Amino acid sequence: MQLRNIIKTSFRSLRSNRTRSFLTILGIVIGIAAVIMMVSIGNGAQGLILNEISSMGSNNIFVEPGAPHSGSGNAMQAMMEEFEIKTLKVQDLESIIKLPNVKGAAPLVIGTERIVYGDNNKKITFYGTSNDFFQIMNGSFLIGQGFSSRNFRSMEREIVLGYKIKQDFFGDENPLGKNMRIKKTNFRVVGVLEEKGTQMFMNLDEGVYLPVATAQKLLLGIDYLRNIVVQSQNEEKIDQIIYDTRLLLRQNHNINNPSNDLSKDDFKVTSQKEAANMVSQVTSIFTLFLSSVAAIALLVGGIGIMNIMLVSVTERTKEIGLRKAVGAKSKDILYQFLSESVILTMLGGVVGIFIGVTFSILIGLILGKVLNVNWGLSVSFPAIAIGFSVATIIGLVFGIYPAQKASKLDPIQALRYE
């Protein structure tokens, strides 16, 4: 029997049982669509995070409280421990900025409060930092300038507004020299940043920036830092700066660590490249886990196809006997049932790919809108190819047993079957 005739016969048989055929391929459709969506979402998240990290330039080093996480415990516990460590101080920043090859260093503390101007008020995120922060974040001033003092301990009551904050409160009015109130303290506007968008998951346009000491003492009531961002003069000096920074902070914090065991430190020093590598590893594992869970639907779909094909063999026993009686060979019956199984899974694969790609694009657009980030098109073409290949293989594997059972039926017994 020619392959063309086998395929035509298979399609005719599947069309005669449309509802059953649809329900049969549903598991394959869901499985492939889920795998494509999970991989695409994982790739999109990874790309977004890496873009946010790279948006600050390639010469940056991050200093945070807390020893590097060894993996013995959950990430949430490690994060809580970091917030309890309060040993990162302004004097550490002042020491780091004097190291060779350091171009600049900016402190960072973060809080939320209501800002008031006239009859308007709004809950905002404020950042206690220094003028170096604007340079490191590649921020330019629309009008005005940074803080009047470069002294990290200076407590001027000055603020720099993000672009959207300026628009919300002042519109076309010039805000320079105007006073805005945060937590019963008046601050004089000295600058407005140009529209910048989101960097390092901070929406710079909706932020308010003030001297770090002012934020610490007047608004937060703390004497420690959450982060220090260090900018190297060039990429070649990053490793040396990391080494020097670790030695310096151990000396400042009275940490005896001659073996360079990072777990003994109460701080982390990472380069942008290391941060990107860690993110890539975490998101890759997360994507693999989600894809593995979604792939279970493919297995379930394959088992469903085998069950339906076995039912089909039973229902068509008499038809099989009649075809054998008029000259059809066992291999013709085998190929027909096998082709039906493969056609079902391939159709499921095509529909699953279409749904998976469509929903991946929609989810990317929705997440980009909700999170106010550039999510980007993250459809994984390798996932599409693998998903379609797996669907075809499933059709072959789970269709072999029903096809063999049909091909081995005795024609006389089949014709007598009721």
pLDDT value at position 13?
66
- DSSP secondary-structure letter at 204? G
Residue 163 identity: Y
pLDDT value at position 383?
72
For the chain, the distance separating the N- and C-terminal CA atoms, rounded to the nearest angstrom, is: 27
Q: Kindly tell me the burial class for residue 78, based on how many C-beta atoms sit within 10 Å of its own C-beta (0-12, 13-18, 19 or more).
A: middle
- pLDDT, tens only, 113-127: 999 998 999 999 999
| Beta-bridge partner residues of 141 | 193
Tell which residue, 132, 133, 135, 178, has the closest CA to residue 157: 178
Number of H helices and E strands in the chain, helices first, is 13, 12
- pLDDT, tens only, 154-199: 899 999 999 999 999 999 899 999 999 999 899 999 999 998 876 6
pLDDT value at position 73?
47
pLDDT value at position 178?
95
Tell which residue, 230, 212, 240, has the closest CA to residue 89: 212
Residue 129 contacts by C-beta under 8 Å, 6 or more apart in sequence?
106, 107, 108, 109, 209, 210, 211, 212, 215
Quote the mean pLDDT of the chain: 80
Indicate the helix (H) or strand (E) that contains 39: helix 18-54
Contact 377, 361 (CB under 8 A): yes
Phi and psi at residue 63, to the nearest 5°: -115, 125
Spatial separation of the C-alpha atoms in residues 65 and 225, rounded to whole Å: 8
pLDDT value at position 215?
95
pLDDT value at position 95?
93
Contact 354, 34 (CB under 8 A): no
- DSSP secondary-structure letter at 119? T
Residues, the chain: 418
Confirm whether pTM is higher than 0.85: no
Spatial separation of the C-alpha atoms in residues 35 and 47, rounded to whole Å: 18
Residues of the chain with pLDDT below 50 are 1, 70-73, 75
pLDDT value at position 83?
60
Structure tokens that stand for 355 in this block: 């749904």
